[in-house]
Structure 1
Amino acid sequence: MNLIPRVIQRRIAHRPNLIKIVDNIGWLFFDKILRMGVGLFIGVWIARYLGPEQFGLLSFALAFTGLFGAIATLGLQDIVVRDIVRDPESARLTLGTAALLQLMGGFVSFLLIFGVIAYLRPDDSLARSIVAILGSMMLFKASEIAVYWFESQVKSKYVVWVHNCVSLTFAAIKVVLILKQSALVAFVWVMLAEAVVVSLVLLVVLGLRGPALTSLRTSAVRAKSLLNDSWPLILSALAIMIYMKIDQIMLGQMVGDEAVGIYSAAVRLSEVWYFIPMAVVTSVFPAILEAKKRSEAEYYARLQKLYDLMVLVSVAVALPMTFLATPLVGLLFGEAYVAAGTTLAIHIWAAVFVFLGVASGKWFLAENRQILSLQRTSLGAIANVGLNFLLIPHYGVVGAAIATVVSQAIAAWLFDPMQAVTRPMFFMKLASMNPLRISTLLSFRG
């Protein structure tokens, strides 16, 4: 199945690498749009069924367990993909070692989740049970080596097949739970079952379409090498999750689960667009690495075009959503959630900086500047926690939205002029915000 329209195929037929990139982006968009549509429909239905308080508790639990995902994955995704592209002969050793490390990281992550929630909510047995069930997902993070392999080969279609088949199946199961008026915990168990099935099927597909699982090897030397490169990314990913999720956790602790439910309704409609930079950047990253080998000028020219595209698309999303926020929330979630409209109108503008942050994150990896990446994300996390402490008591969910936008801007853009080596990135991103600059993905030469 080729997802590239024929008119585009004819224009880029003489550029096989570009065809590969565009086709991969097409698969990723197909995956995310389908799952986004189904997920949004089911998520909205679940939110309406559960009501703001129970939906808020579920959202709190998902955000809380998400904080520890960085420990489970050990920041290895980009490192593993980079190393496979650079040294294909060592792919089996890299994948096997990464799987073992993530298996260990997942176990540590689960223990931390269980311990911290017991401290935060000692008298809330339901919250502790839900968090423990969702936290069990961390034990299956090792299966993500399949995603890394297909990403390194620019063959994301296999991952798309797995995610969509499983997602559609479990979406039907969730509908049955709603129709049977099941309890909140039933939905949580289904979420865990979905994660387990995805993990197992991904490993099967990897064995069929990639290196055989029995051929994967491990090495203490390789493990040390991977961790030496990834430890800043572990802390960086943790910082990212803090300033992406801490608002929901702080709302739950400072205001209550109902406020989390209102806020989560807005965030669900805002963050649903974040698949766009992930899909684009994941597909063009190998080409950007190849450009760096040929010429610094070509390398930075491609980065500038990527920044241009990120701003263009994010503004195209944020502008109409600002004016449609309140009626859209009311239409989808119902009157119980209508207060989320103002929050959405503010939160959606974080997309501009999220898109730029995802794109520039690849620059830090390509330049082996993981420490700087850690510094910028840590600054964003600190800013978000501080702003939430200041704003939530006075403005509630709206204050949390403002804190998110400002902290994203600090991490993705305003950090750049603080360091000489990143200062050019500040001006490149500033240039991309010029409304006269128009760039398209077809500008990339493969």
Structure 2
Amino acid sequence: MKTQLFANLNWLFADRILRIVGSLVIGIWVARYLGPGNFGLLNFALSFVALFGMVGRLSIDQVAVRELTKFPEREKEILGSTFRLKLWGSLAATVLVLPAAWLAQPDNPLFLLLVAIMAFGILFNALDAIDIFYQARVLSKYVVQARSIAFLILSAIRVGLIFGNFSVLWFALASTMEIALYAGLLVWIYRHKEGRGSGWNWQRSTARHLIKDGWPLIAGSLLFILHTRIDQVMIGQMLGEVHVGLYSAAISISEAWMFVPVLIVQAVMPYFVQLRESDPTGYRHRLIQLYSAMFWAGVAVGIITMLIGQRAIVFLFGEAYSGASAPLVLIIWTGIFVAQALVRGIWVISENLQLFRLFSSLIAVPINIVLNLFWIQKYGIEGAAAASLISIGVGTWLVPLIFKPMRQSNLDMMRSMNPRYLFVRS
């Protein structure tokens, strides 16, 4: 079993590295080709669709995996109920996103067409049920293979679109095609490997149980997508597509290094789960050390970005994106809070305090929206970057202090700013 878990983790690591590095390279190439205006329009539409797409996704995956692991004999009803819930959610999201886009941009037919093209991809969320099936069996390699093949093929197509001088509409279509190809490959793998049709069936009681246990995950996912996408939507509404393009370029650079803490946290999670049971004192000390490593890594990345950010933007994206450097030197500092929050996820899950993390997001997201309302109009995309920095910082360091069970974690975070924890053993 340990060998299977290790192999499964390796597949997930490889997939994440491929997609992050590949997306950055192809994304920069597409941005240079389209220019800030069309690149911004594409990201504006993508962010708009993402807000509704998360509603359709119904993030009950972890609950469904848990149920499949505990009750493998109920596989068909769990998968069938999950599929039906996600299908209904996807249909509702697809129906709602189009009139919402028209209300937001009634005089922008190109934006509406981009939204319509990418909204079609929401419908494939229902086939995440196959992903859930393989997660429960610790066989994520099949999902990774499908996702990687789709990603590589559509990356090659995007390069072809650049050389063929195609319009922005084709890049939106490529995004939907990637989702559709991935879903098609998942279905083919499932039928080929399992040697059968789905045979899934709907059970109202199972669906009700999935929603009841999964609502904190659903709410948390919605708040997360709001926090990460609402600024681009608001910039598009208040300033226009060119500014979205500049801001998106800054975000792509600021997020480039985040795969490192994500991979580290995924890799060490089993170690910390075991350490908590065998050595609680050492467990806490090691957590503080990891907090400290993330804090100082974020500081180092922030300082380097402040020194070379302008030149890096121009070198990677071209002179047309030089205006992205100002928000970049602000938003890069969110990496400290995001990295530490990822580490705190180990502690939150170990202590079963997910609900308190949800409460923190419920406060941080409105702060972000309100600050954006005032600062985007006054300070432009620099205001949006500052709003993200402050709201993420408040949500990570300050809001959890309100909740007594979370205070220990926050005090450990603040203690980790002392660099001696990088070197002192327990």
Report the TM-score when normalising by structure 2.
0.88
The equivalent position to 1:348 in structure 2, one of 332, 335, 344, is 332
Q: Counterpart amino acid of 2:174? A: V
Instruction: Report the Cα offset of residue 317 of structure 1.
Output: 4.1
- Give me the whole-angstrom Cα distance separating, in 2, the residues matched to 1:269 and 1:336: 16
Partner of 1:12: none
Partner of 2:32: 48
Q: Counterpart amino acid of 1:404? A: S
Partner of 2:365: 381
User: Does structure 2 retain, via aligned residues, the 8 Å contact 1:84–1:90?
Assistant: yes
User: Does structure 2 retain, via aligned residues, the 8 Å contact 1:357–1:411?
Assistant: no
Partner of 2:240: 256
Partner of 1:414: 398
Partner of 1:230: 214
- Give me the whole-angstrom Cα distance separating, in 2, the residues matched to 1:53 and 1:282: 37
Q: Counterpart amino acid of 1:204? A: W
Q: Does 1:184 align with 2:168?
A: yes
Q: Does 1:246 align with 2:237?
A: no
Alignment of 1:20-419 (within 5 A): 23-208=7-192, 214=198, 216-282=200-266, 285=269, 307-308=291-292, 310-311=294-295, 313-315=297-299, 317-361=301-345, 363-364=347-348, 367-419=351-403
Which range moves more in the overlay, 386-395 or 166-175? 386-395
- Give me the whole-angstrom Cα distance separating, in 2, the residues matched to 1:411 and 1:21: 33
Relative to structure 1, is the Cα distance of residues 313 and 411 closer, same or farther in structure 2, using a 3 angstrom cutoff? Answer: same
Relative to structure 1, is the Cα distance of residues 96 and 170 closer, same or farther in structure 2, using a 3 angstrom cutoff? Answer: same
Q: Secondary structure at the match of 2:422?
A: coil
Partner of 2:417: 433
Q: Once the two structures are superposed, what CA deviation does each residue of 1:28-85 show, in whole Å capped at 9, x if it has no partner?
A: 3322332233322221121111111111110111111111232122121332334445
User: Does structure 1 retain, via aligned residues, the 8 Å contact 2:158–2:174?
Assistant: yes
Structure 1: gaps spanning 5 or more residues? 1-15
Structure 2: gaps spanning 5 or more residues? none
- Give me the whole-angstrom Cα distance separating, in 1, the residues matched to 2:351 and 2:136: 18
Instruction: Report the Cα offset of residue 159 of structure 1.
Output: 2.8
User: Does structure 2 retain, via aligned residues, the 8 Å contact 1:277–1:358?
Assistant: yes
Instruction: Report the Cα offset of residue 396 of structure 1.
Output: 0.9
Which range moves more in the overlay, 372-381 or 143-152? 143-152
Q: Once the two structures are superposed, what CA deviation does each residue of 1:214-270 show, in whole Å capped at 9, x if it has no partner?
A: 254442111111101222222221111111111111111111111111111111111
Which range moves more in the overlay, 416-425 or 94-103? 94-103
User: Does structure 1 retain, via aligned residues, the 8 Å contact 2:54–2:221?
Assistant: yes
Cα RMSD over matched residues? 3.0
Instruction: Report the Cα offset of residue 432 of structure 1.
Output: 3.6
Relative to structure 1, is the Cα distance of residues 273 and 217 closer, same or farther in structure 2, using a 3 angstrom cutoff? Answer: farther
User: Does structure 1 retain, via aligned residues, the 8 Å contact 2:292–2:419?
Assistant: no
Which range moves more in the overlay, 331-340 or 389-398? 389-398
Relative to structure 1, is the Cα distance of residues 286 and 332 closer, same or farther in structure 2, using a 3 angstrom cutoff? Answer: same
The share of aligned pairs that are identical, in percent, is 33
Paired residues, what number? 424
Instruction: Report the Cα offset of residue 168 of structure 1.
Output: 1.3
User: Does structure 1 retain, via aligned residues, the 8 Å contact 2:371–2:387?
Assistant: yes
- Give me the whole-angstrom Cα distance separating, in 2, the residues matched to 1:421 and 1:94: 33
Report the TM-score when normalising by structure 1.
0.85
